Amino acid sequence: MDDKVSRVDPKLLELLVCPLSKGRLTYDRERNELISRTAKLAYPIRDGVPIMLISEARSIEE
């Protein structure tokens, strides 16, 4: 499969929250991550599955 970009079900995105801040997440299609602006963390999506572990999240500065 050449297309490595996974799609996130919009219904799933509505249900998921940041495990640290409990805030909303936004989907970054370019990086294939879920972004918590409140916690300044980006959670990776691997094989279509959001990895919602703080230890796996990437710190972001905006």
| Residue spans per domain, the chain | 10-59
**CA 57, CA 11: separation in Å to the nearest integer?**
22
Topology classification of domain 10-59: N-terminal domain of TfIIb (2.20.25)
pLDDT digit string (tens) for 30-52? 999 999 999 999 999 998 889 99
What CA–CA distance (Å, rounded) separates 29 from 19?
20
The pLDDT-based confidence of 6 (bands split at 50, 70, 90) is: low
Tokens of 60: 């972001």
What's this model's pTM, rounded to 2 decimal places?
Answer: 0.83
